[in-house]
Amino acid sequence: MKSKRRFYGKNIYYWQEDSNLAGCRKKETWGGGNSIYSIGLFLLVGSLLFLTSCRNTYIIPLPGILDPPEQRFTVTFEPALPSGVSEEDLTEMPESIEVKSGQTLDSSIAPKLAESTGYAFDGWITADGKAFTSDTKITSDITLYASWISVWDGSASDESFYDSGKSEYSISTAAELRGLADLVNGGNDFSGKTIILESDIDLGNHEWTPIGIGGKSFKGTFRGNSEEKIEIRNLKMTSPSQLNYATTYGAGLFGFIEEATISNLHICGTIDVSSPENGIYAGPVAGYVNNSDISNCESDMDIKTTGEFAYSGGIAGYINNAKISSCINRGTIEGYGYDQSQCGGIVALVYGTSAIDNCRNEGDVYAENTPEANGDQDGTGCMAGGIAGYQEMGSGENIISSCINTGNITSKENGHNNSDAGGIVGYVLNLYNENASITISECINEGDVLSFYNGGEFEHSLYGHYAYAAYGGGIAGTLLNYYANSAIEISECENYGSISGKSNATTEELQQSAIGGIIGIIQNIEGTAKIINNHNGGSLSSVSDAGYAVAVVIEASPVDVSGNTDGTAQGLKEIGFTQSM
């Protein structure tokens, strides 16, 4: 039975059972004659008191708990001025405020420094250095400290940090970074010296001249002071005036580096450079990299190059005998060449004995070649890859390992040459080295891959049946090996992207494309080649040969294609077509 009583102005709800319960003691009267036994249980849940006896259960809302008094907290602001800046430079500074419990901070509450200081407000932080954002709820009294970022005005250059007698330097302002560029471009290569970037800087979207131009390379160590990465914002390059110094242009924070080490950077901004008669190597960290290491770097930059040779990479444009590790790109990568276009989510071109390890690309990669723009219909090719656009194997062991691509990859050839696109690498070639090897292992592609031949008709028959116009693969578009004592191995890789080939030609052989879940085409003249223990889970679309592992195998020396698996229901063979030479 359910009934209702009044108690101290609040409602009391209770249930009374009809039968007596064994073990109950003395019966007492309370609250208008209702029976309550002396043996019972009190339980407080939130703002409700549960009172239970042997027979009755009362639910009592306690006075004052349902409507607690409103809590308010004090937020105190401290300017925490950067070194060399005084309180006289403060043009605005918020006073302490009181807020309700759970309230967030209005984003308009901010201090301001005179523009002449070169600093801008960069948000509030707590006493332990954590960012206090506009969606952080205030639940206690708190003191917030201003964070400041050095902003470049487009011209300031500060070389005062440099002392030729020292081997290590710390810089913390945009003007000092510009000073470093001026020192290197003036001939000081910083060989054997270390530069530490202590804090985030903002280059203000002013035109940037790279560190290292026209044959002047940086040869030292440059690193952010934290493994969490130091941020360089608003790097902008659109006017390659440095081409006056050389026929090859390196675009990036660094233009040319040699025997250098770069690490712990997060770079944001835009590179969009054009030069009809020059080769352009563009990458957020460095354009041209020789015998160097780049690690733990991150890019949110969109890269676009247009020129006779257009090479765009998500971390670096060109590397030779170098290593790139633990790097991430999220920007869109584009290259528009008049003779050749090669683009990669991490690196555009890979030469020498090089390694790319534990890297990730999340940006779309697009390479397009238009030779007729320079009056030459043939051109020398168009390649695009999620990690590397083009890899030429150097003598020794070359590696691409534990890399992931999630961006969409497109290669479009408008001249009389092939289009090559791969989820990890577009094109791999061993043309010069007898003892070269490349291993691509434990890599994953999740992006869609399109290889598009758009070059019209030309005499292509001298290459035989395998003269396809477009090559595409979930891991690599094309693998070519010409030398003995050399080896290619693709193993333990996975593809989940859709792979497709397309041609606008009417000639039958030019309509053909080679599309594979792992490899588009492999041509092995000498040496060994293995495509083993890989998995394809992506759909394949082709107007010609397709295989869930390899579309086309051309072999003078045997190619081992085995242990590969297919997770689709397309019913394709492991190898689409094989031809012996």
Contact (CB, 8 A) for 321 and 397: no
- At 213, the amino acid letter reads I
CA 435/CA 456 separation, integer angstroms:
38
The answer to whether the beta carbons of residues 391 and 358 sit under 8 Å apart is no
Do strands 323-325 and 550-555 pair parallel, antiparallel, or not at all (unpaired)?
Answer: unpaired
In the prediction, which pLDDT does 498 show? 96
Angstrom CA distances, 545 to 470, 474, 525, stand at: 11, 15, 21
User: Is residue 394 within 8 Å of residue 321, measured between CB atoms?
Assistant: yes
Compute the distance between CA of residue 369 and CA of residue 366 in angstroms, rounded to an integer: 10
Nearest to 257 by CA among 212, 312, 321: 212
Q: Is 466 helix (H, G, I), strand (E, B) or coil?
A: coil
Cα(49)–Cα(39) distance, rounded to whole angstroms? 16
Note the pLDDT of residue 454: 81
Token pair recorded at residue 233: 């914002």
The predicted structure's pLDDT at residue 14: 41
Q: Taking a C-beta distance cutoff of 8 angstroms, is the pair 54, 15 a contact?
A: no
Closest to 136 measured CA to CA, from 120, 117, 123:
123
d(CA 122, CA 150): 9
pLDDT tens-place values along the chain, 581 residues long: 344 333 333 444 444 444 443 333 444 444 444 443 344 555 555 555 555 655 565 555 555 555 567 789 999 999 999 988 999 999 999 999 999 999 999 888 999 999 889 999 999 999 998 899 888 999 999 999 999 999 999 999 999 999 999 999 999 999 999 999 999 999 999 999 999 999 999 999 999 999 998 789 999 999 999 888 999 999 999 876 554 445 568 899 999 999 999 999 999 999 999 887 778 899 999 999 999 999 999 999 999 999 888 999 999 999 999 999 999 999 999 999 988 899 999 999 999 999 999 999 999 999 998 876 555 556 567 999 999 999 998 888 999 999 999 999 999 988 777 889 999 999 999 887 788 899 999 999 999 999 998 876 655 544 444 456 789 999 999 999 888 788 999 999 999 999 998 877 666 666 678 889 999 999 888 889 999 999 999 999 866 778 899 888 888 888 999 999 999 988 889 988 888 87
Going by the DSSP 8-state scheme, the letter that residue 176 receives in this structure is: H
Non-local CB neighbours of 526 within 8 Å, separated by 6+ positions: 481, 482, 483, 484, 486, 556, 557
Look at residue 440 and give its three-state secondary structure: strand
Of 108, 139, 130, nearest in space to 121 by CA = 108
> Could you give the 3-state DSSP secondary structure of residue 383?
strand
Q: How many other C-beta atoms can be found within 10 angstroms of the C-beta atom of residue 186?
A: 9
Alpha-carbon distance of 536 to 515, in angstroms, equals 12
Residue type, position 368, single letter: E
- The Cα 28–Cα 71 span in angstroms is 41
Asked if residue 456 lies in contact with residue 499, where contact means CB atoms within 8 angstroms, the answer is no
Distance CA(494)–CA(492), nearest Å, equals 7
Write the CA distances from 249 to 103, 205, 284, 288, 343, integer angstroms: 52, 20, 14, 8, 16
Q: Nearest 5°: phi and psi at 176?
A: -70, -35
* Cα Dmax for the chain: 110
- Give the burial class of 336: count Cβ atoms within 10 A of its Cβ; 0-12 exposed, 13-18 middle, 19 or more buried: buried
**256-281: b (≥16 Cβ within 10 Å) or e:** bbbbbbbbbbbbbbbbbbebeebbbb
Contact 74, 97 (CB under 8 A): yes
Rg (CA), the chain: 33
What residues form DSSP beta bridges with 294? 262, 324
Per the structure block, which two tokens stand in for 526? 């000498």
Among 320, 334, 357, residue whose Cα is nearest residue 407: 334
Q: In one letter, which amino acid is 97? A: I
DSSP state string for 178-229: HHHHHHHHTT---TT-EEEE-S-EE-TT-B---BS-TT--B-SEEEESSTT-
Q: Tokens representing 207?
A: 């035109």
CA distance 123 to 134: 9
Q: Which SS3 state, helix, strand or coil, does residue 47 take?
A: coil
- Enter the DSSP assignment of 107: T
**Which residues, 6+ apart, have CB-to-CB distance to 128 below 8 Å?**
none
**Given this model, what pLDDT does residue 26 score?**
42
Question: Residue 495 burial by CB count (10 A; 0-12/13-18/19+): exposed, middle or buried?
Answer: buried
- CB 415, CB 368: distance < 8 Å: no
Whole-prediction pTM: 0.84
Please state, in angstroms and rounded to a whole number, the distance separating the CA atoms of residues 215 and 245.
8
Q: Report the alpha-carbon distance of residue 298 to residue 329 in Å, rounded.
A: 6
Strand partners, 325: 295, 357
Residue written as token pair 């800087």: 201
pLDDT in the model for residue 473: 96
